[in-house]
Chains A and B, each alone.
Chain A
Amino acid sequence: MSQKNELTHDAPKLTLVDRIDIIKNHRLFPVIFPLSMLVVIFLIFIVLTGGRFADTRVLTGVFNQSLIVATMATAVAFIYSTGNIDISVGNVMGLAACLGALAYQVTQSMTVMIVVTMAVGIVLMMFNCVLGLVFNVKSAMVAIVAMSVYGAITSVLVGAEPIGVDFKACKVLEGNFRYIAFVLYFVVCLLAFSRTAIGRKLRFIGGNENCAEQTGINRKKAIATSYIFAGIGVGLAGVFQVLRTGNVAQTIGSGMGMDVMLATVLGGMSIFGGAKSNTFAGFVGAVTVTVLNTGLLMIGVPSTLIQGFRGVFFLILVFLNSERQKTLPSRQQF
């Protein structure tokens, strides 16, 4: 007994900071923390709106509004986990949706529209991937170029009037089809990322690329797989976008790449990838952003200030969620 006391006595005492660090280093922290923050924000808005925020209409609205960004954020988690960045996903989605809508105008078939949008999404993401893998161009650079080029092509293709898709037909598919497709994609991503070798390889590459290659992982193949998963998600988001709006305008997807990155990071994912990556983050982040937007609007925050509040919330949540390094975080991503 006395020996045990002696041992305890000799052990260094844990300070509050140490204890916080231990909690923050827990493997489930990146998942639980953003989720708890979401719940806290949600509860705050329920109080501030006198309970109106808990209305089922609000909840359904939040889910519906988050769906497109959530799908894309889930998709890019595969890319981010390897330490690569792609901020062109918004414009890829836009061009995919544009070509899908054009295909619909030619064939008047929703099936064709869905197939074309998905296919274009995958092809464009693979094109970005090829530029990176074959020509060794940093993914962020590829994304900057792709953003502008895809955006310009979409603008030319759309022209003065939005490309219309029968929105009544869209409405039929909008509800259940969207929910089922998203849940299916989300579950597949979740399983592939956390329960299969695909996810393990991607996280390993993100953690240490050289080490991963030394252990026999085919880096190029793994990264290509990540882009295929992302392409499917981006294509699916394009389909969701067409189904929701019933037409494709010139501005489709512009700026959405940044929204996706914001959501992903807010959900607890590091853009440097690695072992703590997860596909869950995108969904949580997208919902958090939507909850913030809706909640702030409902409590009467002027529209011009909403962005500022979003920025402050974002910085605080990211700070609380990230591991504080002894040196400054940096990485040559360009």
Chain B
Amino acid sequence: MGNVLSKDRLLGIVKTVAVPAVVWILMELICRTQAGTSVVANSADVRTFFRNMVSTVAFALAISTNLNCGRMDLSLGAQMYVGTIFGGNIALALNLGGVGVLVLAMLIGGLCGLICGIVFVNLRILPMVLGLGMTLLFECICFSINNQQGVILYGKPGVEILSNSTFIIFVVIALVAVAALLFKYSRFGYRYRAIQGSQKLASDAGINIFSNCVFCYLFGGILVACAGVFTTMYSGSLAPVLGMSSNGYVFRNMFPMVLGAWIGSFSHNAQFGVAMGAICVNLLTLAMSKLGLPLNVQNVLVYSLFLLFIIYNTNKRKFAYNRAKRARIALAKQTKAARQPA
């Protein structure tokens, strides 16, 4: 039995890793034949890939934290702006270096998440609606308080570590490990999954659904701020925005999150799956950049793939059922044919 289990687990892990590997091979083939280059051709590409991956992993994990409990937090993008801009500027002013930038940004991002969570459990208005209101507020705060200035990381002393591939990999592993520990193996995680099953039953069983929820928001805020720091490191600077445009970050990270949930189902580890999902989507975008596709075309392609994937994912049981039905009919026909006298 133990062998079977470990064999299943091994197979699950292989499947989980196989998906990004297949995507990479596919993209590599397309890039080599169409653009005459590799998807990841040199060390700059490696850094770009890792930096974008850590942002995507962190953001996708943040979305899933609340979304898995039926709460869509639209203010995550705005929390990212507040965390990165304020945390980044404070850390730079205090000469805390790259790690300081990351830590302070995560702290302030967490604070934003905490505020959002406290407001939510007290007002109890619909999460998506609360997200809209908090987005309006956070964007305004971010824009007005610092005299409309964002944060510049390019060229600042001590922040080079944020571009270091080893450090980035360490951050990715740390994020995934912490998230996995929290959501799979901690008391918080058990309660979280109980709430996921039925909020009412969990509450009746004595679980404090409110503190669990606030913690989810807090964790979401920490993660998006982490994503914001690496995004800013790549783009050099981050300027505050208004008009709910920060929502774009939430929407664009839905694909890796959903894809990650599917990949994670092979190994029963959603967090690891999200990391693999992020790798897939980033390989895809990197390949499209190598091919020199217009941004609009890239958008249409990515979202069309997203749509196709959701269609598959939603209907996979139906597809499996139809496959089984066809096999049954074929078997019946075969049996009938075999029983018929020659």
Asked whether any CB of A lies within 8 Å of a CB of B in the complex, the reply is yes
- Which of A92-100, A129-137, A176-184 sits within the interface? A129-137
Interface of B is mostly: helix
Question: With an 8 A cutoff between CB atoms, is A311 at the interface?
Answer: yes
Which residues of the partner chain A approach B302 to less than 8 Å between Cβ atoms? 148
Question: With an 8 A cutoff between CB atoms, is A191 at the interface?
Answer: no
Which residue from chain B places its CB closest to the CB of A333 in the assembled complex? B72
Which residues of the partner chain B approach A131 to less than 8 Å between Cβ atoms? 307, 311
- Which of A32-40, A53-61, A199-207, A319-327 sits within the interface? A319-327
Q: Which of B278-316 contact A (CB under 8 A)?
A: 296-297, 299-300, 302-304, 306-307, 310-311, 314-315
* B242 and A304 contacting across the interface, CB-CB below 8 Å: yes
Which residues of the partner chain B approach A332 to less than 8 Å between Cβ atoms? 70
Which residues of the partner chain A approach B29 to less than 8 Å between Cβ atoms? none
Q: Mark B196-223, 1 if CB is under 8 A from A, else 0.
A: 0001100100000110010000000000
Q: Mark A68-82, 1 if CB is under 8 A from B, else 0.
A: 000000000000000
A271–B128 Cα distance when bound, in Å, is 9
Question: With an 8 A cutoff between CB atoms, is B167 at the interface?
Answer: no
* B251 and A148 contacting across the interface, CB-CB below 8 Å: yes
A144–B252 Cα distance when bound, in Å, is 9
Question: With an 8 A cutoff between CB atoms, is A270 at the interface?
Answer: yes
A272–B143 Cα distance when bound, in Å, is 32
* B244 and A255 contacting across the interface, CB-CB below 8 Å: yes
* B69 and A330 contacting across the interface, CB-CB below 8 Å: yes
Question: With an 8 A cutoff between CB atoms, is B336 at the interface?
Answer: no
* A327 and B200 contacting across the interface, CB-CB below 8 Å: yes
* B314 and A327 contacting across the interface, CB-CB below 8 Å: no
Which residue from chain A places its CB closest to the CB of B312 in the assembled complex? A135
Number of interface residues of B (CB under 8 A): 55
Question: With an 8 A cutoff between CB atoms, is A153 at the interface?
Answer: yes
Question: With an 8 A cutoff between CB atoms, is B243 at the interface?
Answer: yes
* A311 and B209 contacting across the interface, CB-CB below 8 Å: no
Which residues of the partner chain A approach B209 to less than 8 Å between Cβ atoms? 327-328
A268–B129 Cα distance when bound, in Å, is 12
Given A304-B140, A307-B139; A325-B124 close (CB under 8 Å) = yes
Question: With an 8 A cutoff between CB atoms, is B130 at the interface?
Answer: yes
Contact of B300 among A140, A141, A149, A261 (CB under 8 A): A149
A148–B210 Cα distance when bound, in Å, is 35
A145–B314 Cα distance when bound, in Å, is 15
* B304 and A149 contacting across the interface, CB-CB below 8 Å: yes
A240–B219 Cα distance when bound, in Å, is 44
Given A314-B133, A327-B209; A304-B245 close (CB under 8 Å) = no
Given A145-B307, A148-B251; A315-B200 close (CB under 8 Å) = no
Question: With an 8 A cutoff between CB atoms, is B18 at the interface?
Answer: no
Question: With an 8 A cutoff between CB atoms, is A19 at the interface?
Answer: no
Which residues of the partner chain A approach B136 to less than 8 Å between Cβ atoms? 307-308, 310-311, 314
Question: With an 8 A cutoff between CB atoms, is A331 at the interface?
Answer: yes
Chain A nearest CB: distance from B260 CB in Å? 14
Q: Which of A132-158 contact B (CB under 8 A)?
A: 135-138, 140-142, 144-145, 147-149, 151-153, 155-156
Question: With an 8 A cutoff between CB atoms, is A305 at the interface?
Answer: yes
Chain B nearest CB: distance from A34 CB in Å? 14
Q: Which of A245-280 contact B (CB under 8 A)?
A: 255, 258, 261-262, 265, 270-272
Which residues of the partner chain B approach A325 to less than 8 Å between Cβ atoms? 124
Q: Mark B33-48, 1 if CB is under 8 A from A, else 0.
A: 0000000000000000
A322–B132 Cα distance when bound, in Å, is 15
* A148 and B141 contacting across the interface, CB-CB below 8 Å: no
Which residues of the partner chain B approach A310 to less than 8 Å between Cβ atoms? 136
A85–B128 Cα distance when bound, in Å, is 11
* B144 and A327 contacting across the interface, CB-CB below 8 Å: no
Chain A nearest CB: distance from B123 CB in Å? 5
In the complex, which of the residues A138, A145, A270, A324 has the most CB atoms of chain B within 10 Å of its own CB atom? Answer: A145
A262–B136 Cα distance when bound, in Å, is 11
A138–B72 Cα distance when bound, in Å, is 13
Question: With an 8 A cutoff between CB atoms, is A50 at the interface?
Answer: no
A144–B251 Cα distance when bound, in Å, is 7
Question: With an 8 A cutoff between CB atoms, is A300 at the interface?
Answer: no
Chain B nearest CB: distance from A230 CB in Å? 18
Which residues of the partner chain A approach B121 to less than 8 Å between Cβ atoms? 328
A156–B296 Cα distance when bound, in Å, is 7
Which residues of the partner chain A approach B139 to less than 8 Å between Cβ atoms? 307
Question: With an 8 A cutoff between CB atoms, is B165 at the interface?
Answer: no
Which residues of the partner chain B approach A311 to less than 8 Å between Cβ atoms? 133-137, 140
Question: With an 8 A cutoff between CB atoms, is A119 at the interface?
Answer: no
Which residues of the partner chain A approach B200 to less than 8 Å between Cβ atoms? 327
Which residues of the partner chain A approach B315 to less than 8 Å between Cβ atoms? 135-136
A311–B242 Cα distance when bound, in Å, is 12
* B299 and A152 contacting across the interface, CB-CB below 8 Å: yes
Question: With an 8 A cutoff between CB atoms, is B239 at the interface?
Answer: no
A229–B69 Cα distance when bound, in Å, is 32
Question: With an 8 A cutoff between CB atoms, is B25 at the interface?
Answer: no
A181–B253 Cα distance when bound, in Å, is 39
Given A135-B315, A314-B133, A322-B125; A328-B304 close (CB under 8 Å) = no
* B144 and A148 contacting across the interface, CB-CB below 8 Å: no
Question: With an 8 A cutoff between CB atoms, is B71 at the interface?
Answer: yes
Question: With an 8 A cutoff between CB atoms, is A312 at the interface?
Answer: yes
Which residues of the partner chain A approach B134 to less than 8 Å between Cβ atoms? 311, 315
Which residues of the partner chain A approach B303 to less than 8 Å between Cβ atoms? 144-145, 148-149
* B137 and A324 contacting across the interface, CB-CB below 8 Å: no
A324–B72 Cα distance when bound, in Å, is 18
Given A329-B127, A330-B70; A304-B144 close (CB under 8 Å) = yes
Q: List 22 interface pairs A-B (beta carbons < 8 Å), by A numbering.
A: A131-B307, A135-B315, A144-B251, A149-B299, A151-B299, A152-B297, A153-B300, A155-B296, A255-B243, A270-B126, A305-B144, A308-B140, A315-B119, A315-B123, A319-B123, A324-B124, A325-B124, A327-B199, A328-B121, A330-B127, A330-B199, A334-B254
Given contacts A262-B132, A265-B126, 19 further A-B contacts (CB under 8 A): A137-B310, A145-B306, A145-B310, A148-B302, A148-B303, A255-B243, A265-B129, A271-B126, A305-B144, A307-B143, A307-B243, A311-B140, A314-B133, A315-B123, A319-B123, A325-B124, A328-B121, A328-B199, A329-B127
